[in-house]
Amino acid sequence: MKKEILSFIEQNQLSPFEKSKVSSKEEGEEIFKTKDARAIHMKVLAKLSSNFKFDQTSLLWQAFPLTNTKEEIEKRQGFFREITERKDNASLKKLKVPKAVWKPKYSVITVTEDEDTLMQLKKADCPVQFLISQYDVESLAGYELIQVINCEQFSHMLERLPQTVFIDQVEDIYLERFLILLSSWKENIEILEREKTNPDIEGLLYEIQSLFPLLEEKRTEVFSKEEADRELERMNEVIFSKLKNLTISGEVLFSMMNKKELPLEIREILRTEINQSRLHEGVLRMGLPLSLDEKELDAQIQAQNANEFATSAERVKKNAKELKALPQKLQRLSEQLLLFDFMAGISNYITQTTAMPETAEELSFEQAQSLLIENAQPISFHLTNAHRCSMLTGANSGGKTTLLEHILQVISLYQLGLPMKGKVRTPLFTEVFYFAKNKGSQSKGAFETLLTQMSMVKPGKRTLILADEIEAVTEPGVAGKIISATADYFSNKGCFLVFATHLGQEIQNHLPSYARIDGIEAKGLDENNELIVDHSPVIGRLASSTPELIIEKMYKTKQTEYFNHLYSWLKNSPKAGH
């Protein structure tokens, strides 16, 4: 699975630093056949993704498309079984979008006469100039390094420029671009180097860090014009200070004025200071005061710079092979970071689970806890070949809808190959329909739409139908019969069904074969006036919807005359709750 995930990342060009969500094609047939079922599946994925640090890590779930093969699910389970301990991915939040902080300290230009080469160089972000005339060549004189490729017409002119280097292959042009790329990752790599990740990432970090010395500037001491002027001023101050203590005879002074020569004593003072100076002797003119040979100074500065740039360029060239491999290594590092974020993020969930679900002919779970509810109460429930349909009855807010969504959650996690909290056995459903509670008004259109959707179900032993209070879309008098008839039709076709309903009394009188009535019961109110409910259905028992408990809750919390009247009326009525 690791190879498949890494291949998915590469094919979809995912990045740890990309903020926008990109779409990718989901393979395989869609198992969740209704919008409501798909919505629960997406909630499961969102919850599982809550510990990911990169925006695009959640897209890796698309590498786990819904499947109808047991072998694929078992392969996924094997992948997640390898995650046996919680991994920390918090440091990934420290990483920043790579931003270049280095550039060559010498000016570089690449030149060519070939249009195809020009396009390749532009695509590679190389500084490039297309040569058309001799004036283009003459304009290159100001560059400190000229790289030439595919130039025939102007090759002789270019050879006369001392800073020209001829290169045969495009990939060897402007190797400095790889150092610019390296510098953009340097801070992130130093952060990752201090954290524990995995051997694949750590190996890449070691290889990439070996190039860091190329980003360090090994400067030789090169004087600028300003520095030379300051050094000259310092030297003259020292010289005149020494001359104050020097006694010169009249004869020597006369000779100096007549022959325009400096006396030996003064020449010794100048020679001593020149020898101790940081300036090269060739740029100094002997005299009082000392002065600079500007032309020689400019030539020396240019020569020193050229030598320094040549040394830096040579260091880059010696590491050409490693530098050209850098983009691929950084791409692999990006892919490995996404994979690590995925595995570390999901490890928080996996280490809190108990077992992998098993593939079976019947649906059952024991002490299973919902992923989507904090401090969820464990639930046990089952459907068998003898009772493939459950008519789920019970209190308002008691957990009927939660149970339906928990079944969908179980199927989602099973499809992904993930373990769960509790013991779970499930068929490999190929079609799952969920008709959520109708939130709109009762209408003929809603009723017809529901019946049309039901008619499109392809019944079979791997079909699951979940429906939540579908009686709300039609007249109460016939709703119970329609629910019973629907359950009878699909259960006889081998489908598994759970219908959450308030019509338990009506359905009980004509319960179809393969169906049973289950109940989620409310036992009263707690100290916070919340319903006390055992969310695990009692198998085979009809449960009341207990409206009197809801009225009691409103009576105790709202303290209004209306709720006081309702509570007293129901409490004193012999038929309360019916």
What are the boundaries of each domain within the chain? 225-301, 358-545, 546-578
CA 163 to CA 152: how far, in whole Å?
A: 18
SS3 call for 394: strand
Statement: residue 222 has pLDDT above 70? no
| pLDDT tens-digit readout, 463-482 | 999 998 888 777 766 888 88
Q: DSSP labels for 493-510? A: TT-EEEEE-S-HHHHHTT
Instruction: State the pLDDT at residue 200.
Output: 93
Q: How do residues 388-422 score in pLDDT, each as one tens digit?
A: 999 998 877 668 899 999 999 999 999 999 999 99
What is the number of other CB atoms lying within 10 angstroms of the CB of residue 448? 12
Output the pTM of the full model: 0.77
Percent share of the chain, pLDDT over 70: 86
pLDDT at 446 > cutoff 90: no
Quick one: fold of 358-545?
Answer: Rossmann fold (3.40.50)
As a whole number of Å, the CA-based R_g of the chain is 41
| Among 355, 349, 357, 343, residue whose Cα is nearest residue 415 | 357
Distance CA 484, CA 501 (A): 11
Given this model, what pLDDT does residue 251 score?
60
Mean pLDDT of 428-455: 79
The alpha-helical segments, DSSP class H, found in 133-282 are 134-138, 155-159, 176-193, 199-209, 225-243, 250-259, 264-276
Structure tokens at 218: 């090994």
Instruction: Please state the separation of Cα 313 from the chain's center in Å.
Output: 36
pLDDT tens-digit profile of 354-387? 899 999 999 999 999 988 888 888 999 999 999 9
pLDDT digits (tens, 9 = 90+) for 281-290: 777 887 778 8
Indicate if the pLDDT at residue 578 is higher than 50: no
- The H or E element that residue 324 is part of is helix 320-324
Q: 207: left (phi > 0), else alpha (psi -120 to 50), else beta?
A: alpha
Low-confidence winner among 171-180, 222-231, 264-273, 541-550 (lowest mean pLDDT): 541-550
